[in-house]
Structure 1
Amino acid sequence: MRFVLIGLSILACSACQLVAAELPDIVVFLSDDHTIGDSSLYGSTDLKTPNMDRIAMQGLTFDQAFVASPSCAPSRAALLTGLMPSRNGAEPNHSRPDKEIKKLPAYFQELGYEVVSFGKVGHYRQTPEYGFDIAKHFKYHEDIAVPEALKWLDARESDKPLLLFVGTNWPHVPWPEPETIDAKTIKIPLHHVHTPQTRIARARYYQAITTMDRELGEVFDAAYEKLGDDTLFLHTSDHGAQWPFGKWTLYDEGIRTPMIAVWPGKIPPSKRTEAMVSWVDILPTLYAAVGQTAPEEIDGRSFLPVLLGETDTHRDVIFTVHSGDGNKNVYPTRSIRTPRWKYIRNLHPEFKFTSHILGDTRPQPYWGSWVEKANKVPEAARKVKRYLERPAVELYDLKADPTEQNNLAAYVEHKEKLASLANQLDAWMKTQGDQQKVYGEPTLLKN
């Protein structure tokens, strides 16, 4: 706990006198490209994430948390502005939010916080542009970021309240060689193509998650040892992993994200919630946790009452967007998700869905083995085609079909549901000023 003086004008009061306030410290740990189901906390039976498990025992686990966009730059810009990509200006990957938009560090610096980031918090070199007091080790896979954050925190002597972001690069590619993972025990997802190369690549991915989980535990322990119990700790990931139907897509493996929150004495321990929350909600939630109210003009809304156990609901629907990632992934798409239904609109179904996966030349690439098997096995061919070609509209009943395999858009019995979700998405896109712009040069499907 820190004691600081803050202006009443910051608290939306008219007087200009100063008052003392108690402000909690806040630590946010971001993992990179981590599919939610690839952790024991969220149901994996062949991959243990013991630190996620033990941290969850001390706080609240979100089962329905979602990012705003399934690629790094727009996802992190949404987190750090509280605005969706169409409104903050960072739509395709590697883009930046508009300079004039107020960013998360400024909100807390006005209250007397020291706002610090180590590692990948913004999109690599963009991180300092968000206005952190300190921003270090944000280059691509600068993997000393977490140990350096731990050293900095241990040596810190400031009396200011602290908001610390620590961003690991794991499990973002390139995945390391397996050390503790036995590839033979791995369960390949049913919607992937089973090949020896897939199994080897998945073992590498699991090893990267194991490293992430270790770093998470180290940061969590150091935070409470140094800062004390009046510390709000949040762990989440920017989107799913670089696997087909994950990153760059609006399927749940791309947009649904792990999220755990701990705040001793405030957040009840060992709880789970089905409350639907978005990454744009994180900024106003952290701001509410220190007694402030974020501007109504941002898209995010505080879910602090969910954290405090006062309610188990937040949003009725989640909107997500994706525009592309350079010329390798030009595929604008939008979605609306309810607790049960997912509606995806692919704005240009004449485009081929491409991604970095298709040209992967790292050790043990697997996509080539999928294509080779597709030449011989019809089911493999179906999976490969489904990744590369999408219809204009997709509709999934997530209760009956959680892995989104059976597109119901053409079923007459779901006509009303389809129309209702389409109308809601249209209205939302209009309020966002969504121009449905195509960024980059698409690859067209062959007739």
Structure 2
Amino acid sequence: MKTTILLAALLVSHFAFVQTFASPPNVVLIMADDFGYECVGANGGTSYQTPVLDQMARDGIRFDHCHAQPLCTPTRVQLMTGISNARNYKDFGVLPRSEMTFGKVFQEAGYATCVAGKWQLGRQRNSPQHFGFDESCVWQQSRGRTDKQGHDTRFANPLLDVNGVPRAFTGGQYGPDVVSDFICDFIGRNQDRPFLVYYPMILTHCPFSPTPDSADWEASSRGSKTYKGDPQYFGDMVAYTDKMVGKINTKLESLGLAENTLVLFLGDNGTDEPIVSVCNEQRVAGAKGETIDTGTHVPLIGTWPSVIAAGQVCDDLIDTTDFFPTIVAAAGVDVPEGLDGRSFLPQLRGEPGNPRPWIHAWYKPRKKSDLAVWVRTKRFKLYRDGEFFDTRRDPLEKHRLDPKQLNNDAAGAYEVLSAELNAGTEKEGSSRN
């Protein structure tokens, strides 16, 4: 009887997945800016209100071991190309125009494609379109982060590029509202065909400043002149991030599209350093830009009602190179050869999949910066310079382990990571360019 029940369950699951592929799914990839794992209530965070993300975790799947690069552009390049920074990263704010992106793959497969939010991957007027996005509404494309008077341009009365045309919003608008409205309009206009939305959010990057839901919001503000702003507003910005995700979800539901739409939410790196949060009864200081866990550990939550069973928690390692092959495979499109990422689509379906045993990270965000290279499992981490840490017991990496005095678990991990570190060195510089 148990065998019959199990077989029936598998057949139902397979049928649901085939049905999804019979009607190509929509894909919405949302990435919050400077938003660490500890910010989400479903992950054990207690400092902020994230009811939408918490509900998504209950309705779908959340991952406990997703790691990004420690800084924005390195993560964005990996995410967009599925390639390790060791092979195609050139400089901060740059994505080589010779690179293939998931936007291009979806576009060539007949999807309507849209990017809205923070760009930072090329100043050319057609940069988003060149990389495969039919429509775009982005910040930091043709212009920098501040205006001539030094005001930040992303939040109150923002300066954005809409389909390659610079626009100044001066009527009391809020940048995150403008780009999310653009996305909702795009979804409405393309509801009768499969679409890809890439939403690299403007929130929660500094300057920490009031949102329209803050008591002291000023619609006439021209933006902060202080880079960091005031950390007291970070909680309001997290709440607004959650609200923007809810806005997209509500749009999908109102059009009857939610059932056949894969929505993935992650952060691009750890929370910024002025912010201290509480997660699982532990104080967590943001470490954006640093290679410790609080600089790379980010939330990952996914929903896809026709495919993902509710209430799943996955313990597998996920790297930001893994998103390209995952969303392309979810669309039923052939995954390009030569990617460094591994698809976690099977895990979304509740199957074992082929989880990665380690993450190999190469991090050099600016030409003047020192290079950091490391390989890690969920617990152990080995740097190229020989530093070896147990991140479970020592998340801040204060106590280096002596390779000559390791217990069985640590000794086995050290041997495996050493071999991968050496093998990975051979890939560096083997760009597709």
Category of TM-score, reference length = shorter chain: 0.7 to 0.9
Structure 1 334/210 Cα, relative in aligned 2: closer, same or farther at 3 Å?
A: same
Structure 1 23/179 Cα, relative in aligned 2: closer, same or farther at 3 Å?
A: closer
- 2:240 aligned with 1:211, yes or no? yes
Task: Write out aligned runs for 1:201-240 (5 A).
Answer: 202-226=231-255, 227-240=257-270
Task: Write out aligned runs for 1:222-261 (5 A).
Answer: 222-226=251-255, 227-243=257-273, 246-261=287-302
Task: Write out aligned runs for 1:264-275 (5 A).
Answer: 264-275=305-316
Q: For 2:419, which of 400, 423, 428 is the aligned residue? A: 423
> Helix, strand or coil: the match of 2:406?
helix
In 2, are the aligned partners of 1:146 and 1:167 still within 8 Å (CA)? no
Task: Write out aligned runs for 1:309-348 (5 A).
Answer: 309-311=350-352, 314-325=355-366, 327=368, 330-345=369-384
Q: Distance in 2 between matches of 1:157 and 1:312?
A: 32
Residues 5-30 of structure 1 show CA distances to partners (whole Å, capped at 9, x for unaligned) of xxxxxxxxxxxxxxx95211111111
Q: Distance in 2 between matches of 1:40 and 1:411?
A: 40
Letter of the structure 2 residue corresponding to residue 395 of structure 1: F
Letter of the structure 2 residue corresponding to residue 234 of structure 1: L
Match of 1:351 in 2: none
Residues 258-307 of structure 1 show CA distances to partners (whole Å, capped at 9, x for unaligned) of 11110012101111100111111111111111223312311112111100
Q: For 1:300, which of 329, 333, 341 is the aligned residue? A: 341
Residues 403-444 of structure 1 show CA distances to partners (whole Å, capped at 9, x for unaligned) of 433222476336945454233212112123379xxxxxxxxx
Residues 173-206 of structure 1 show CA distances to partners (whole Å, capped at 9, x for unaligned) of 1111499899xxxxxxxxxxxxxxxxx9543333
Residues 7-58 of structure 1 show CA distances to partners (whole Å, capped at 9, x for unaligned) of xxxxxxxxxxxxx952111111111111111221222222221111011111
Match of 2:401 in 1: 408
Match of 1:105 in 2: 103
Q: Which moved more, 1:55-64 or 1:285-294?
A: 285-294
Q: Distance in 2 between matches of 1:245 and 1:31?
A: 15
Match of 2:57 in 1: 56
Q: Distance in 2 between matches of 1:136 and 1:119?
A: 6
Letter of the structure 2 residue corresponding to residue 101 of structure 1: E
Q: Distance in 2 between matches of 1:138 and 1:410?
A: 47
Q: Distance in 2 between matches of 1:63 and 1:308?
A: 17
Q: Kindly state the Cα deviation for residue 83 of structure 1 after the two structures are TM-superposed.
A: 0.7
Task: Write out aligned runs for 1:152-171 (5 A).
Answer: 152-153=185-186, 155-157=188-190, 159-171=192-204
What percentage of aligned pairs have identical amino acids?
26
Letter of the structure 1 residue corresponding to residue 271 of structure 2: A
Task: Write out aligned runs for 1:74-153 (5 A).
Answer: 74-87=74-87, 89-97=88-96, 99-121=97-119, 123=121, 125=123, 127-139=128-140, 140=145, 141=154, 142=158, 143=175, 144-153=177-186
Residue ranges of structure 2 left out of the alignment (5+ in a row): 1-20, 146-153, 159-174, 216-228, 274-284
> Helix, strand or coil: the match of 1:118?
strand
CA RMSD of aligned residues (A): 2.8
Q: Kindly state the Cα deviation for residue 313 of structure 1 after the two structures are TM-superposed.
A: 5.7
Structure 1 409/122 Cα, relative in aligned 2: closer, same or farther at 3 Å?
A: farther
Match of 1:176 in 2: 209
Q: Distance in 2 between matches of 1:45 and 1:36?
A: 12
Letter of the structure 1 residue corresponding to residue 198 of structure 2: F
> Helix, strand or coil: the match of 2:422?
helix
Q: Which has the higher contact order (CA 8 A, sep 6+)?
A: 2
Q: Compute the TM-score of the two structures, normalised by the length of structure 2.
A: 0.73
Letter of the structure 1 residue corresponding to residue 422 of structure 2: D
- 2:428 aligned with 1:432, yes or no? yes
Q: Compute the TM-score of the two structures, normalised by the length of structure 1.
A: 0.71
Residues 370-402 of structure 1 show CA distances to partners (whole Å, capped at 9, x for unaligned) of xxxxxxxxxxxxxxxxxxxxxx44322123234
Residue ranges of structure 1 left out of the alignment (5+ in a row): 1-19, 183-199, 346-391, 436-447
> Helix, strand or coil: the match of 1:112?
coil
Match of 1:361 in 2: none
Q: Distance in 2 between matches of 1:155 and 1:291?
A: 23
